[in-house]
Amino acid sequence: MTTTATAEPAPSAPAQIEWNLAEIYDSLDAWRTDKARLEKQVGGLSRFKGRLGESAAVLSEALDAISTTEKDLVRLYVFAFLEADEDRRVSEAQERRGAATLLLAAFEEATSFVSPELLRVGSATIEGYLDGEPRLARHAFNVRNILRKEPHTLSDEAEAIIAGTSAMRQGPERVFAMLTSSDMPFPTVTLSTGEEVRLDQAAYGKHRASRVRADRKLVFDAFWKTWKGYAATLGQTLDTHVKAHVFEARSRRYASALDAALAGPNIPEIVYRTLVASANRHLPSLHRYFRLRQRMLGLDELRYYDIYPSLVASERSFQLDEAKSIAVAAAEPLGDEYVALLREALAGDWMHVYPQEGKAPGAYMYGAVYDGHPYLLLNYNGEYDDVTTLVHEWGHAMHTVLAKQQNRYETAGYATFTAEVASITNEILLQEHLLSQDLSSRERLFYLGTALEAIRATFFRQVMFAEFELGMHELAEQGEALSGEKLTDRYEKLVRRYHGSDE
Residues labelled as active-site residues: 393
23, 394, 398, 412, 430 from 402: Cα distances, Å: 19, 12, 6, 9, 20
- Please state, in angstroms and as integers, the Cα–Cα distance from residue 61 to each residue in 54, 299, 500, following that order: 11, 68, 59
Q: 355: closest CA among 88, 16, 81, 80? A: 16
Q: Are 418 and 266 in contact (CB under 8 A)?
A: no
Q: How many C-beta atoms surround the C-beta of residue 214 within 10 A? A: 10
**Phi-psi domain of 253 (left: phi exceeds 0; alpha: psi -120 through 50; beta: other):** left
Q: Distance between CA atoms of 180 and 172, rounded to whole angstroms?
A: 12
DSSP state of 136: G
C-alpha R_g of the chain: 25
Q: How many CB atoms lie within 10 A of CB 299?
A: 12
Sort strands 364-366 and 375-377 into parallel, antiparallel or unpaired.
antiparallel
Q: Determine contact, residues 179/186, Cβ cutoff 8 Å.
A: no
Q: Does an H or E element contain 190, and which? A: strand 188-190
Question: How remote is the C-alpha of 273 from its chain's centroid?
Answer: 21
Q: Which pairs from 32-36 meet CB under 8 Å and 24+ separation?
A: 34/72, 34/75, 34/76, 35/76, 35/99, 35/100, 35/103
**DSSP classification of residue 205:** H
CB 239 within 8 A of CB 484: no
Give CA–CA dist 342/352, Å, rounded: 17
Spatial CA neighbour of 369 closest among 70, 58, 135 = 70
Closest CA to 370 of 87, 148, 85, 71: 71
Dihedral pair phi/psi, residue 20, rounded to 5°: -110, 95
b/e burial code for range 217-242 (CB count within 10 A of at least 16 → b): bbbbebbeeeeeebeeebbbbbbebb
Residue 183 per-residue DSSP state: I
Q: Which pairs count as long-range contacts for 79-86, CB under 8 Å and 24+ apart, including other chains? A: 79/21, 79/24, 79/25, 79/31, 80/31, 81/366, 82/19, 82/21, 82/24, 82/352, 82/366, 82/375, 82/377, 83/21, 85/352, 85/359, 85/360, 85/377, 86/18, 86/352, 86/358, 86/359
